[in-house]
Amino acid sequence: MKKWMMVTGLLFVGVVVAQVASLAENIRAYASWTRVNVNKINTAGAHPLGKDVYVNLAPDRLLSTNGNYKLPFAQGTIFVKERVDPQTLQVTHIWVMQKRSNNAGDWAWAAYERKDNTIQGGNLADPVMCVGCHQQASATDQVFTQWGRR
């Protein structure tokens, strides 16, 4: 691991612990999970640029021997997408999808957003907007971000 990556990693952990105290318990440590992307995701679209995607599985549980995801994702799998403002380096948004069963497409959805010095949000009772778009990724159990080979 390169030194700047470690420094950046620590910075994010600091930001999370200090300012994301209202995140649900099961995702608080997301910055220490497996990062799915290699380089920051800077495509615009539904969510603004400056994004990283994390998953709560080690690569050996996440991937088959051919390097593709083991699908469908198992119950309890959590993907977190974090968006950091490139200027302030503050986390502005956190989006979450958590697998409710082993069935394809059965996710619970959550969204958090910075408001001043707090991060507010939580589970979405009616995530029709999220699902409507993520259905386009049905071939990979509604997850868009492919494993970044490294």
Decide: is 38 part of the binding site for ligand HEC (CB under 6 A).
no
Q: Specify the residue, 10 or 129, whose C-beta has the smaller distance to ligand HEC.
A: 129
CB of 145 to ligand HEC, least distance (A): 3
Burial class (CB in 10 A: 0-12, 13-18, 19+), 132: exposed
Is 27 a binder of ligand HEC (CB under 6 A)? no
Q: Which is nearer to ligand HEC, 99 or 134 (CB)?
A: 134
Question: Does 109 interact with ligand HEC (rule: CB under 6 A)?
Answer: yes
Q: Which stretch binds ligand HEC (CB under 6 A): 7-15, 66-74, 113-121, 137-145?
A: 137-145
Assess 145 for contact with ligand HEC (CB under 6 A).
Answer: yes
- 2-8-14 Cα angle (round to 5): 140
Angular region, 54: left φ>0, alpha ψ -120 to 50, beta rest: beta
Which residue reads 């997301």 in tokens?
A: 30
User: Token pair 């619970």 is at which residue?
Assistant: 108
Compute the distance between CA of residue 146 and CA of residue 150 in angstroms, rounded to an integer: 12
Q: Which amino acid is at 123?
A: N
In the region spanning residues 62 to 91, those forming contacts with ligand HEC, defined by CB under 6 A, are 79-81
Closer CB to ligand HEC, 6 or 61, in the complex: 61
Tell whether residue 5 is a contact of ligand HEC (CB under 6 A). Answer: no
Q: Residue 128 CB, nearest distance to ligand HEC (Å)?
A: 9
